[in-house]
Structure 1
């Protein structure tokens, strides 16, 4: 019974719920509570439960304090908040117990709340009746030998009742699965697939569809990406609320619409509905509105059968509850999709178009995490610095950065934009080494309380004679850059300092490291999404990246294709983190 207490608390959005089962001649209460540790010990709670058991009627109280003051019930000292309870009926109409929810704060119970409580109480009572029926069947089966015929008759009747109750129990379990599975969905595609699997498995319709109402008052059919579109979704993907479709009627009138047979379609709906139903071999359907929290309806859930089918009251109750869970999942998915889309646009807007740099070939790759809800703070950047140090051949110093701000949400993407801008500003203002710029950035991060944390590599490249470039870099806890030389082994630039974190003491300075890059050298900067994966050591991932980089340099692979090879081989298609790579090759351009 604790499952039903948990479901009641979830559906009615109440902090506390209890199922009280009456046992024995004295009707002793056995309590199953949610949360388990919150057993209602207050005397007034028991008084109200006994009242519901005695009257056999649904009780909803919006404000217990005011209700008690009006003289409705004695012995309610200390009662506060809102209370609602429904009786649990047995097969003969007797009271088996009470399902109750309590909210410490006053609230107005809506008609939907009362209906949800009655539906849940009915399903809970069905399980109790099943237990009673099974016990009676066993008692009858093991009766005396002289009463065998009577016992057999009773057993047969009990088994028939058990079968009926078994169906109700299976549907109660379906509601529990629906609450759990739909509560864990993220995107609309996942909602569409989950609701199709739930309804198809229990009620066995030939088709399950989901129709969503847009801001333009148009209905759009959501396609199950796991199985692909059906004729109904291909031929009529978009239609108006006023069009002659059963789903449009359900959404517009916000009520369950039943189509028990083909003739009902012919008599009451658009002729195109008959054509499409015939193409799919459908004969009946039921359409249930999706209740919204910000507007009356979000659309409709439709289940259709390939034979005439009249939905009974229990099937309608099941579909109505599932439609409610689906509506909550749809609203959550739409909000998440919109938030993720904005964050991705912000993240992509921060990715730099590279400046034209004689003597250097640059390429970059950014791949978002495979999970659509994962938005990170990974970025790359490249921009000219120190104009007064431009070489005689026109080569100008260049700053490059690859970083990873902590987090996988919109806030992380926003902080990434701030970090990128702050580091650029520090480079322009300080005009010194990459370490000077990073220390200036950290000082601003501390004083402005932006609380940016993460890792990065920030480097300056200075032109040197004979087409070479001097690489000067500082590393704040980031994976080691890789330097592939044309005629010797690939080098891991392992020198690094502390990562960025507002809780660490600011360093007085950061070290600067140097390497001379000769023509043909390739430098690779990357984020941990490339090399860090479950089941594989980070160092192994970096070693593998070094091997692949050396091969592409030896094969003279163009940088864009080389980055694709690295990402495809190491990160793969189902990477759980963003992947950023920035590579630069020293060319012979500008030599002499």
Structure 2
């Protein structure tokens, strides 16, 4: 007999199942979920990895690696075969070295029928904390999970949860869109010829930040309704927070930037009472609201206003306010239009908040992948990553530096694994360095970047003695067989010590990347121009060339991404020459300071793309 299905918290089950439905995922493969399962299988080196979503009477696998027939074809099991249901019911990770020896799980049919022995599952949650399922790693033999494996699994579960939350938000938007469409159809029958609602749907859909929402709403309603002021106030951490006008500094918005929903403002009343509040003239304002509200109206030259609550899919978001310099009382037609505009604004606010949070998570994920450079006797190394000025740009730029096993010793079996790049205290060892740029500026680019970075490390470490071109070919062959949809550019180099005071031998290959710059001890600079084509899964592995030279003691090598040199209206060759000149001019600085100076001088403060810099300096010491 199998274990009975566990009971889920009754007060949350309805909301949880509704959130599951909004993801649009079920017992069918999904490209994004398959990618997360594949990352788990590769990072934790397990035979089975699942994105399991737990429904009322079954679990489904939109992402799956390694499951045997017939389960692989069905992509679902009854809950009698589910360990993920325990994660979903408890809301906590479940980590088992041997599920057969645990009282909770020993009778589960997942053990005999699916071959589950070791299990590690992390909760997948929506924005409200409802647990939708589990991202899990499964082994068919007893396994004691390491802290590093569990940390990686936790990070991947957080990224997977963000993806699910975006799908849910999209589902909410679609549901809200359908409801708004019905309301709009009704309003348009009474307001024949008006284009405002159509424009609202088009304009606000493209807003990506809260400031952008404020600007678009202001520009949208200023024409047809002719208000002199449009404000956006959001409920944040129990208080009302004004979103400042991005194009004008208004003293009132600074003075009353944050206030309580219990204060005597018409906007606070609209929020408290969850209804539209009108101020038809100044006499009404003075009679019903606080002196601070009157002063705020006077500072903006307003005599009347309409305040509309912003109802989100799950909660009240805030208030939008329109003000006029003369008495103004909205009629039924205008109220209908404003209510619809408020609905579109609420959707735009929800989307902007979610995107900002998701982009923040993506930036954190990207920075987490860019680890510290190792300490290498005989070399000074430094790296710098600067995100793009545009908040919604999440790039695929990366750097890496890892010490290599001596070819005579074979693979480095004493390390913590192929990703080990920690400081070494032994004699000088060979070093691999890479700077690359994966095509795209989104979560996909950041996650693909992490996978390519790991594959390059693995290829460089697994077969010591081979050159960078061979490592690059390994990557390109792998890309032909993995569904990453990856393309981009990179420079990959190996450095080998030549002995006391003789410098280092540099061997590199360039896949369509901007040329590295070499600063010689005598102050002259050189572009390392030799390069091949970019990498792309459709191109496959094709001949790559190793190039070689000796770095004398006191030489500096600079690798960088195109964010440093690409600026609108600027010639790339000129930008590279400027970089070389700055490299020579500031050569006396420590490398970390040198990289910051180069970024400030060459790219300035308005970089439109991410910037990665990696530099090394030889000192000839043993």
Fold match (TM-score > 0.5): yes
| 8 A contact 1:255–1:289 mirrored in 2 | yes
Find 2:481's aligned residue among 447, 471, 476. Answer: 447
SS in 1 for 2:208: coil
Displacement of 1:203 after TM fit?
4.4
Match of 2:217 among 185, 195, 213: 195
Structural mapping, 1:34-45, within 5 Å? none
Q: Does 1:473 align with 2:511?
A: no
Matched, 1:422 2:443: no
For residues 77-105 of structure 1, what are the alpha-carbon distances to aligned partners after superposition, in whole Å with 9 as ceiling and x for unaligned? Answer: xxxxxxxxxxxxxxxxxxxxxxxxxxxxx
Alpha-carbon spacing, 1:347–1:308, altered in 2? closer, same or farther (3 Å): same
The one of 364, 384, 390 aligned to 2:403: 384
How far 1:274 moved relative to its partner? 4.6
Q: Shift in Å at residue 205 of structure 1? A: 4.1
Does the C-alpha gap of structure 1 residues 305 and 392 become closer, same or farther in structure 2, counting only changes over 3 Å?
closer
Aligned partner of 1:299 in structure 2 is 318
If the length of structure 2 is used for normalisation, what is the TM-score? Answer: 0.62
Who is 1:495 aligned against? Answer: 530
Match of 1:287? Answer: 307
2:603 maps to what in 1? 571
CA deviation after TM superposition for structure 1 residue 218, in Å: 4.4
Q: Distance in 1 between matches of 2:470 and 2:178?
A: 63
Structure 2: gaps of 5 or more residues: 1-174, 410-423
Q: Which residue of 2 aligns with 1:158?
A: none
Residue 575 of structure 1 and its aligned partner are, at CA, apart by: 3.0
Q: Residue by residue, what CA displacement relative to the aligned partner does 1:386-444 show, whole Å, maximum 9, x if unpaired?
A: 25789999333222110111211100100111111222222222122333333333333
Which runs of no fewer than 5 residues in structure 1 stay unpaired? 1-106, 126-171
Equivalent residue number for residue 327 of structure 1: 346
Aligned to 2:330: 311
Q: 2:497 aligns with which of 460, 463, 479?
A: 463
Q: Deviations over 1:511-562 (max 9, x none)?
A: 3221111122111111122223443443343333333323333xx2443443
Correspondence list, 1:34-183, <5 A: 113=181, 115-125=183-193, 172=194, 178-183=200-205
**Cα 1:233/1:318, change in 2 over 3 Å:** farther
Equivalent residues of 2:407, 2:464 under 8 A apart = no
Residue 491 of structure 1 and its aligned partner are, at CA, apart by 1.6
Given that residues 479 and 540 in structure 2 are in contact (C-alpha distance below 8 angstroms), is that contact kept between their aligned partners in structure 1? no
Length, aligned pairs only = 432
Q: For 1:287-331, what per-residue CA distance to the aligned partner results, in whole angstroms no more than 9, with x for missing partners?
A: 012243x23643210123455433334543443343233223222
The corresponding residue for 2:258 is: 237
- 2:391 is matched with 372
- In the alignment, is the contact (CA less than 8 A) between 1:254 and 1:296 conserved in 2? no
Matched, 1:228 2:249: yes
Comparing 439-448 and 498-507, the one that deviates more? 439-448
Aligned to 1:581, what secondary structure does the other structure show?
A: strand
Which residue number in structure 2 is paired with residue 559 of structure 1? 591
**Does residue 504 in structure 1 map to residue 539 in structure 2?**
yes
Q: Deviations over 1:216-261 (max 9, x none)?
A: 5543322223323533554451434x66543233235443211224
Q: Distance in 1 between matches of 2:489 and 2:274?
A: 52
Tell whether 2:448 aligns with 1:404: no
SS in 1 for 2:339: helix
Equivalent position of 1:211 in the other structure: 233
**Within 1, Cα distance between the matches of 2:177 and 2:406?**
70
Contact 2:565–2:575 (Cα < 8 Å) also in 1: yes
Cα shift at 1:174 = 5.5
Deviations 1:174-226 (A, max 9, x none): 65654544333221111122323444555454542112234x55433222233
Retained in 2: the 8 A contact 1:374–1:409?
yes
Contact 1:389 1:396 (8 Å CA) reproduced? no
Q: CA RMSD of the aligned region, Å? A: 3.4
Secondary structure of 1:369 counterpart: coil
Q: Secondary structure at the match of 1:573?
A: coil
1:509-520 aligned at under 5 Å gives the runs 510-520=544-554
1:432 to 465, 470, 485: 465
Aligned pairs for 1:17-28 within 5 A: none
